[in-house]
Every structure is written in C-alpha cells, then in structure tokens.
Amino acid sequence: MFESLKEQPADGILALIQMYKDDPRPTKIDLGVGVYKDATGLTPIMRAVKTAEKQLWEEQDTKTYTSLAGDPAFTNAMTQLVLADAVPLENVAAVATPGGTGALRQAFELVRMARPDARVFVPDPTWPNHISILNYLGIEIVRYRYFDEESRGVDFNGMMEDIKTAKAGDVVLLHGCCHNPTGANLNMTEWAQVVDVLNDTGAVPMVDIAYQGFGDGLEEDAAATRLVASSVPECLVAASCSKNFGIYRERTGLLMALSNNADGRKLRQDNMTFLNRQNFSFPPDHGARLVSMILNDNVLRADWMSELEEVRTGMLSLRSQLASELQRLSGSDRFGFIAQHRGMFSRLGTTPDKVALMREKNGIYMVADSRMNIAGLNANTIPILAEAIIDAGV
C-alpha cells in the first residue's frame, strides 16, 4: 500500500529554517519564518494571554467538548472584532477552526460543496498555502495580477482587468490587510472599486484576514473587510488569532459565511458544522477560550490592545529605520516602499539569485521570491541587511 505513495514537494520555508540553523555565523539573520519576533528574537506570550491562562487554570473545571462550531463566546467575540456592526450578527454563520489555515481549508471545502465548478481567483503572488490547498482539493485556480515588481506597490489596473473576468459563482480571494508576501495593500478608494467589480460580476469575495492589528491598527485593518462584507450579497471571511494574539501553536481561527440578510443562515451554519465534523470534529478550545476571555474582559482587552499597538508601532519603526539606512547607502529613495508597506512582510522585488547571494555572502535568510519578515530585524541587524542589499545590487 504505502509503496505507491509519491514524494511530496519540500516546504521551502522549512528548508530555509534548517539552513539557518546549520549556519554557524553569529551575524546571520532569519527573515524567512513567518512569525512575529521581538528585538531579542523571541516570539513572546502576550501579557493578557498569560493573565487569562492563569485565570483559566484556576477556574476551569472541565475539559469536555464544547460544540462542533466552537464556543459561541469565541465565535461571537471574534465576529465582533472583525466585522463590528458592518453586518448584523444574525446574518453571520461562523465556526471555530484550527487556526486561520483551518478556516481557509473549510472555506474552500464549502465552496466546492456549494459550487463544484467554481473557480477561485487568487492574487499573484499570494501565500503559498492558498495554492497548495486549492490544488489538493482540485479547485481551478485563476491568478490575477497584484504586485508591481517595479514600483513594489499594487498593480491595481492589472488586478481590476483580471478580476473583471470572474463570473457569477466564482470566488475572488482577497487579503484583508498586510498582504502576504508583499506587504503592499489597496487603499480604501481602490477597495470600493473592487467591491463594484464583485457586484457587477456576481463573484463571491473571500477575505483572508490574518494580521488584523499589525498594519494601521485594529479598526483600520478591518475597514476593508467590513466594507466588502457590508456591500455584497454573500461573503466568506477567514480570520486568524495566531499573530495578533501571539497564540500560534494553539491553532485558533474562525470561518464566517455571511449574506446581506438572515435568510439561509441556518443552512450555511449546518454545512459549516458538518465540515468541522468531517475534518476534525470539535475544534481546539484552549486558544479560543483565551481569546474570548480577553475580548470580553475590559481590563484584559485594554492590556492586549496596548501590547498589540506596541508590536505594530515597533514594526513600523523597523520599516522606517531600514528604509532610511537604504536611502543613506544608496543615495536614492528607491527603497521607500519598505516604509509604505504594512504588516510583517515586504517583498524586495529582486531575483532568486540575488537572494541566494545575500544568503551565501552575508547570512541573510529570506524566501527565494525576496519576501522578508520585517519582525525578524532589530536595530543591530538593520545595518547588516541594508549593506547586504546594496552589495547584492538589488
């Protein structure tokens, strides 16, 4: 039986992590792994999470199952965090999932159940796991232009031309904020135009919002998702708690399927609950319970928001420092896009051979497409990276 299995392609980021570990140079810099790190290189547990865990340890008296859709305290709190009052709660069907990846997988499964011939339009580039899951499920992928390699901003005209070819029943995948891997985002005027195209074509938007609070702020980062949700007949939203709550290993996410009225909510909810049952039965509860405790407690929520703001502004400061150092070394402002990008990532827009050169010569580890994790930097490593970028002729 097992001898008929085929070799699966290696994960490029995991391979990069191993290469970094094997590199003995003390000045090496890890910009590949997609997790937040503080100035010491640690991914810390947030203060509010620690406090909630202590409280949970003292008060929790059972580890029995919650429900197939997850604890309503979590699904309601997260729905409110992401959507606020953009859509009435009774219009939203929601299930807890194992992380944002679980939410995406369930969303794509739901699309396949509802419309087997649906095509999914994805930005080029996008998070590689989007492509991997869609290919595994056998769903047709249509790539739309997104990143302008010259300006390192959004190729908005190309994007609009491409998504206009979507048909009713197709799905258009959108990054709600802090685009991964490029860091380049649409502005709200552009988002409004995207909504117009979605309504004209009848395509269904699916928003992946994995970095709320990492870009311009909690409310600001949710603005595009709320605009989409309130402006189209139907919408899917996949949300992650890994980054903004720092609970990566707890696998905490949420999938929402919503419409502009309450009709059909039970049908959507039943089908999403069914998918949970087929794939993993009851979703993980520990991370979800911590999130609901934090969001429903004024003191914990205030402390979480304060620390999240420190994380966000810290990354903005790193962006500004790197852009300034590159301007000093290059004598030009061609790297100003780094300060304009948002979230953990920026894409330099250079070639794999130059990425390899920086790795071999300077110990700079980033993904081959030149995506770099800004949160992997600190005041000491910024000059090293900037010099490596200039020396490589980026």
Contact by Cβ (8 Å): 195, 227:
yes
Q: How far apart are CA 95 and CA 109, in angstroms?
A: 13
Question: Do the strands 147-148 and 153-154 form a parallel or antiparallel pair, or are they unpaired?
Answer: antiparallel
Structural tokens at position 26: 């003390």
Q: Which residues contact 97 (CB under 8 A, 6 or more apart)?
A: 70, 103, 105, 106, 238, 253, 254, 255, 276, 283
Q: How far apart are CA 91 and CA 87, in angstroms?
A: 7
| Bridge partners, 144 (sequence order) | 123
Structural tokens at position 204: 């269904």
Distance (Å) of CA 167 to CA 105, 194, 302, 334: 22, 14, 44, 38
Q: Which residues contact 299 (CB under 8 A, 6 or more apart)?
A: none
Active-site residue, selected from the candidate residues 127, 166, 191, 221: 127
| Bridge partners, 94 (sequence order) | 256
Distance (Å) of CA 265 to CA 94, 234, 335: 10, 11, 47
Q: How far apart are CA 204 and CA 234, in angstroms?
A: 6
Active-site residue, selected from the candidate residues 30, 162, 170, 208: 208
Q: How far apart are CA 67 and CA 367, in angstroms?
A: 39
Contact by Cβ (8 Å): 115, 268:
no
Contact by Cβ (8 Å): 122, 97:
no
Active site residue 21: no
Contact by Cβ (8 Å): 234, 118:
no
Active site residue 216: no
Active site residue 210: yes
Q: How far apart are CA 76 and CA 162, in angstroms?
A: 35
HEC-encoded secondary structure of 219-258: HHHHHHHHHHHHHCCEEEEEEECCCCCCCHHHCEEEEEEE
Active-site residue, selected from the candidate residues 52, 94, 184, 210: 210
Active-site residue, selected from the candidate residues 243, 288, 369, 392: 243
Catalytic residues: 127, 208, 210, 243
